[in-house]
Structure 1
Amino acid sequence: MSMRQTSDLSISVRPGREAVFPKGEFNRRIAALQSRLHEEGAEALLLTGPENIFWATGRQTAGYFAFQALVVPVEGAPRLLVRQLEETGARAATYLDRIETWQDGADPITVLARMVSEMGLSRLACERTGWFVSPDTRARMEAGLPVALTDGSGWVEDLRVVKSPLELDAIRRAAGYAQAGLGAAIATCGKRVSENDVAAAMMAAALSAGSEAMAMEPLVSSGPRSGIPHATWRRRTMRHGDAVFLELAASHDRYHAALMRSVWIGPPPAEVSRMMDTALRALEAALKMMRPGVPCAAVHEAAQAVIDDAGYSAAFRKRVGYSMGVAFAPDWGEGAILSLFTGVERLLEPGMVFHLPVTLRSYGAYTVGVSETVIVTETGAEPLSTLPRAMTLK
């Protein structure tokens, strides 16, 4: 198919028809990014990660496995490069005027090089810490682009951390879907029920409530399997004495909110009850610490102190929370952007969003835990679920 035919076919697609936000929201984001480029003395920034491209333009697709790139100049309009098959979706999801395509069988880096040359650039900042571009593609970019490549890692991520009112509304909606899914999962748990039955009920309820594609599969595990971090359903049938670990992140317009709860089949042992009580108190301590001006590390340390005092330091070997927002597989969180963890001194600001999963494990035996997705407000933290936090007994 010729480029002329491709353009003719695209005329029928109204720009922004499938956009998740109004044009003004994306104009504001591009302006903020261009302000950062000006501060850095950069001519342009090359984005390749699906989360960053979506944040800047609204571009989303299940086909992001194919190379795509957004070039944002310090002045003027951005230009997007996508696989030709993806052009219609890119025009529908964004308000961009300049969308270039590469055809199957062609080298997208060659097309990107031509695009960069047409823009008259001599230097191009890029995301060196991004997960999306393979080492081979990175090497071909460095060899094939007619510009000097510099490091622009973190520039978009710094802007993504504090959410706009429209983003917060999407996350609140996602939290409602996640609560519907967790509620259905808890109700389904019981003796002689399979993990698959619980996962099916969880996902059906979340999808029926409104959730779109999730950036990572839900976590459903029972019995000894629940003591394995990030294990998920595998046809196991629940029985008396089992722990059941449940965690889900639902999505609205690619914005995610996560939620975790614990179930025990039958009466739990005293040690399990004590661990669960510790997890609940640690979460509450972290939530009480969250307010603008507090370092991220202080939130983690508040929870860690509760856990350490109870003697469960070895059962909790991780950060207490991570940023939430835009997500594409393989991760439902923005944990690579900002964590609630020791040594992270960035101060909390209103509009930041975090998932706080407090899990205590007897590794290989069982896990108990509880979580909330919360918005940092002017005065504290707003949890986005109303689902009871205590362990459910079945």
Structure 2
Amino acid sequence: MNIIERGVEAVFPAAEYQARQARVRQALVARGLDAAIFTGPENIFWLTSQQTPGYYTFQCLILPVAGEPIFLLRELELTNFLRNSFVTAFETYGDGVAPAGLLLAALDRLGLSRKRIAIEKGGWFLPISFYESLVEALPERPDDATGIVEQMRRVKSPGELAAIERAVAQSDAGMRAGLAAIRPGATENDIVAAMMQAAIAGGAEYMGMEPLVSSGPRSGVPHATWRRRRLEAGDAVFLEMSGCSDRYHSGLMRTAWLGEPPTLARDLERVVLAALEAAIGVAGPGRSCAEVHHAAQTVIDAAGMTDRYRKRSGYSLGVSFAPDWGEWQVMSLFDGVDVELEPGMCFHIPITLREWGAFTVGISESIVIAEGGCRQLGGTIPRGIHVIDCE
């Protein structure tokens, strides 16, 4: 492999990743650990800049307290790894080879097999059978490394904030295009095609999740997405999407109507807008994630619409891979999440009220916590229901 290629597609300089790894090592020492094995694609990216859509095959970073990290990955991914990462030690396995054996051999060679190690158990792609084989082979049961890196990902650096703001601009462009594509006779697919085209033309990479677009009665079903339905006069249209810049994501949700919305929809709209404003108004340093959720929930409860709102009020934004665009592992704005907000934390706040199986009124903003409060990211698209003239 050409050594000149090393790290040419890394998002940040090598020193940034070395500093992140040093912070994790300090956390491992504080827990009495000798090493940790990271398997989640988001944490691997945050620590090394390695990214690939092929994370469905086993990859991991072994990070010892002393000594250089070593990366284990599928042979097909090596060139990608060399261009993305500055990690110098790596081992590959071919198709048809069980990677658990490679990991065990590496731990033994590094003198870690009989030491106290931890492995992420809460990621997407650590099969139960794989983990059980490690537990059976190691002299001592590994600790759980889940949450070590996630805690460090909460507050974004200036470079990370810049990437999120680029993703927000892509979302804005995509949402404007989607709203412009709504008309009687158009299909849900037409709307998504317009959204994706605009976001990608604006610099977006592949997102952690494609846009959520649904119309008519389907718009009243949470997480329904496009299925070729043709729009008719009187339809509600629900739209939600994220941009993606260097794996950093955003979030944006809007609602449109083909013709004048019914009275109930306007009632829901007023409550959604008030709840969103309440959540944004509370978000600031020293408040907790739960307090932001409570601010929105209080407005909804006071309006007698509790049964229409059965979810958290938001989630952390940052590094994501499919199947999600939010940092679900990092923070949620919900009851019992007592994490104190700090400047540099980013959130998507999607407030939705539904007439279940009939329509949804959903409106959101993305924010970053700042000194004295928070700052809205983007915000170029009016929040209220977008009424589309059917004539």
More moved, 378-387 vs 219-228: 378-387
Structure 1: distance between partners of 2:84 and 2:139: 30
In 1, the alpha carbon distance for the partners of 2:65 and 2:140 equals: 15
CA distance in structure 2 between the partners assigned to 1:141 and 1:329 by the alignment? 26
Hey, what does 1:201 align to over in structure 2?
194
2:323 maps to 1:295: no
Q: Distance in 1 between matches of 2:139 and 2:199?
A: 47
Query: Do 2:213 and 2:240's aligned partners in 1 also have CA atoms closer than 8 Å?
Result: yes
- 1:63-212 counterparts in 2 under 5 A? 63-121=54-112, 122-145=115-138, 148-212=141-205
Q: Is the 8 A contact 2:38 2:145 kept in 1?
A: no
Match of 2:382 among 368, 388, 393: 388
Aligned length: 385
Q: Deviations over 1:306-330 (max 9, x none)?
A: 1111111111111100111110111
Show the counterpart of 2:364.
371
Unmatched tracts of structure 1, length 5 or more = 1-9
**Partner SS, residue 336 of structure 1:** strand
Is 1:246–2:239 an aligned residue pair? yes
CA distance in 2, matches of 1:140, 1:91: 29
**1:197-251 CA-partner distances (Å, limit 9, x unpaired):** 0000000000000100101111000000000000001111111111100000110
* TM-score where L is the length of structure 2: 0.96
8 Å CA contact 1:216, 1:330 repeated in 2? yes
Q: Equivalents in 1 of 2:317, 2:337: separation in Å?
A: 16
When the two chains are superposed, the root-mean-square deviation of aligned CA atoms in Å is 1.1
Structure 2 distance, partners of 1:14, 1:220, is 40
- Please give the alpha-carbon distance, in whole angstroms, between the structure 2 residues aligned to 1:114 and 1:138: 15
SS in 2 for 1:71: strand
Counterpart pick for 2:40 among 35, 49, 59: 49
Q: Return the TM-score normalized by structure 1.
A: 0.96
Q: Which amino acid aligns with 2:313?
A: V
Output aligned runs, 1:216-235, within 5 Å. 216-235=209-228
Alignment of structure 1 residues 343-362 onto 2, 5 Å: 343-362=336-355
What is residue 275 of structure 1 aligned with on the other side? Answer: 268
Identity score, percent: 48
Q: Which runs of 4+ in 1 moved over 6 A?
A: none
Q: Is the 8 A contact 2:257 2:387 kept in 1?
A: yes
Q: Is 1:30 the equivalent of 2:24? A: no
How far the C-alpha of 1:388 sits from its partner, in A, is 1.1
Kept in 2, the 8 Å contact 1:359–1:369? The answer is yes
The match for 1:61 is 52
SS at match of 1:99: strand
Note the C-alpha offset of 1:118: 1.6
2-structure distance, mates of 1:343, 1:38: 29
Q: Secondary structure at the match of 2:329?
A: coil
Uncovered stretches (5+) of structure 2, i.e. residues with no partner: none
SS in 1 for 2:330: coil
